[in-house]
Amino acid sequence: MILILRPNIDKTGIDFQELMEFLGKMPGIQARVHDEHGAQQVLTEIYLVGDTASLNSDEMASLPGVERVVRVQDEYRILGRHQDDQRSISFDYNGVRFSQDDLNVFAGLCAVDTRRHVEQMMRALVEHGQTCTRMGAYKPRTSPYAFQGHGASCLPWVFELAGKHGIRVIAMEVTHENHVREIQEALEATGRPTGVMLQIGTRNTQNFELLKHVGRQQQFPVLIKRGFGITLEESLNAAEYLASEGNRRVIFGLRGMKSNLGDPHRNFVDFGHVPVIRRLTRMPVCIDPSHSVGNREADSDGILDICHATAQGVIAGANMVLVDFHPEPSKALVDGPQALTLKELPRFLEDVRIAREAYERRRELARRYGGKAHVAA
Ligand code: PEP
Ligand code: MN
């Protein structure tokens, strides 16, 4: 059970003190206080754990300082959306806002290769009003002989270039806990010119020790990708690991599921699950059309499958798009065949805007019908 207190409640005030005293005397119940720092206010939530089944919600709601009570299902206790639970996880990180109401595009290099490519990429992004990017330094590769990423050695100059071009957040995969420390150190050494969103890749979705480590740090928000060969429930539980260790700034990423080799896309696009994640949890939802589709095929109108998949996710309410671009895809060291070119960036962004506008109009339509499913007479 979660007690949601009056916004900006004073912890030294009488209501809070009385409430904590009361909760402290309840047998078999432990109370954990958590502050959610929003843009306008601090929302204090008290998580009651233990024997909560017998608690009466109305009685708990009448305790001093309590505004609302949410009864939590067992699953996804922290990140889940529980009955009558309208709360959303929203956070600002380095000047960028993330929530189920926002949309941020992270276009960039699958893997950092040369300084020139990184700079060309960042310059193009800024020219088109973008402040976020993706830049892989640690690459989990199928073959041990494939390029594994430049690792820690590229971090200082990548961060400096980001600072120079006004890039505020870089999504960057980590595959080992040491990588988190290396990123922290490089940011520190360069004077924190940018921010980093740690990425847990699909191959590490159930690397529980990595999840615990990344969950314990509070400096960086985390993008966790759905595991490509496990159930959705297993992937959502993996996300909950991060939150249960203390980090609630978690974004859940769809990136396609493993299918047969002969299938037309690298992975089976699962963006039909965007609304499912938004219903089950309060996490912002990311889509990665590049690793889902995995090629540059287009339809007879000349629209790339990657753009179609992006639009499908965005029109369904996605909150983040992670997408591979490269100034010279034929020279990319990782995933060149699925990278879009810098020339295609404005068109891609315009396509995203069209899909987002359509989503907003659809949301408005749903509100007009009272948010209930509309059944034709
Ligand atoms: C990536 O985004 O670079 C990546 C490797 O993605 P995934 O973990 O989804 O394969
Ligand atoms: Mn890739």
For 289-316, write each residue's pLDDT tens digit.
999 999 999 999 999 999 999 999 999 9
pLDDT surpassing 50 at residue 377:
no
Q: How far is CA 310 from CA 23, 201, 214, 241, in A?
A: 48, 19, 28, 28
- Output the six-digit token pair for 195: 């921010």
Identify the band that residue 69 occupies on the pLDDT scale cut at 50, 70 and 90: very high
290 CA → ligand 1 middle, Å? 9
Identify the band that residue 372 occupies on the pLDDT scale cut at 50, 70 and 90: low
Q: Which atom of ligand 1 is nearest to the CA of 255?
A: 9
Q: How far is CA 259 from CA 265, 323, 328, 366, in A?
A: 9, 21, 29, 34
Identify the band that residue 75 occupies on the pLDDT scale cut at 50, 70 and 90: confident
User: Does ligand 1 come within 6 angstroms of the Cβ of 278?
Assistant: no
- Inter-axis angle of helices 208-216 and 177-189, nearest 10: 30
Q: Which atom of ligand 1 is nearest to the CA of 111?
A: 3
Q: How far is CA 274 from CA 55, 122, 206, 285, 313, in A?
A: 34, 28, 20, 7, 7
**Ligand 1 pocket: which of 225, 252, 266, 321 to mutate (most atoms <8 Å of CB)?**
225
For 137-147, write each residue's pLDDT tens digit.
999 999 999 99
Q: Is 104 helix (H, G, I), strand (E, B) or coil?
A: strand
334 CA → ligand 2 middle, Å? 6
For 48-63, write each residue's pLDDT tens digit.
988 888 899 999 999 9
What H or E segment, with its residue span, contains residue 176? none
Give every CB contact of residue 246 below 8 A, 6+ residues apart in sequence: 215, 216, 218
DSSP secondary structure string for all residues of 278-293: HHHB-S-EEE-HHHHH
Which protein residue's CA is at the shortest distance from atom 3 of ligand 1?
110
For 11-44, write each residue's pLDDT tens digit.
999 999 999 999 999 999 999 999 888 778 899 9
Annotate 302-314 with b (16+ C-beta within 10 A) or e (fewer): eebbbbbbbbbbb
For 149-179, write each residue's pLDDT tens digit.
999 999 999 999 999 999 999 999 999 999 9
Between CA 79 and CA 89 the distance in angstroms is 8
For 346-363, write each residue's pLDDT tens digit.
999 999 999 999 999 999
> Which protein residues have their CB within 5 A of the ion that is ligand 2?
110, 335
For the entire predicted model, the pTM comes to 0.93
User: Does ligand 1 come within 6 angstroms of the Cβ of 202?
Assistant: yes
